[in-house]
Amino acid sequence: MNAFTQLHMESIGGPYANGATSDPSSFYCKSSLGQYKKQIIETRAIMFQKHAMQMISGDASNRAEARRQAVLKRVTREFWTNFVVRGEETEMLHHLQSKLREEFGQDLQFFYPPGDVQMTILHDTDEGPKPVEPHVHAAIVNRAWQLAREVVASHMM
């Protein structure tokens, strides 16, 4: 044990002050663990008080709505994945396709070219299917997402 450690041990007292052990790190470890335990207890108390205040002030309803929105987003994303990526056919997807057909006046085909991560939207032309223009692509994707969200929300309780 070096002189500084010995002096420090003597100044704080305790079982290690007399140099009974040659490993002062065990004292520091116990001290650190004690401080950590106090911090955890304080953190739990603060979290409990914050939760209690939210319940009293009515913020719990906001939290419930936030959870509902998170579930809505997650289910919509799954619905969107089934629609665009997997191309699965369901009644909800037929409804979404018919709404898009009504709004954009044509059948639209959503697909991912092999090896590409960018979705392509095709529309029928006289020369065959062609990709839509970038600004139309963005409008279609935004509207399709809104419609998918509305469909999912209408089926959620």
Total Cβ atoms within 10 A of residue 84: 17
User: Does residue 139 carry a pLDDT above 80?
Assistant: yes
Task: Name the phi and psi angles at 108, rounded to 5.
Answer: -115, 140
Per-residue pLDDT reduced to its tens digit, 15-50? 554 545 556 667 667 777 778 778 888 887 787 777
Domain spans of the chain? Answer: 3-56, 60-155
In tens, the pLDDT along 79-131 reads 777 766 666 677 777 788 888 889 988 888 877 777 777 778 888 888 888 99
Q: Once rounded to an integer, what is the mean pLDDT over residues 147-152?
A: 85
Q: How far apart are CA 118 and CA 141, in angstroms?
A: 12
Helices and strands of the chain, counted as H and E runs? 5, 3
Comparing CA positions, the residue from 75, 79, 83 lying closest to residue 119 is: 83
Pairing of strands 120-125, 108-111: antiparallel
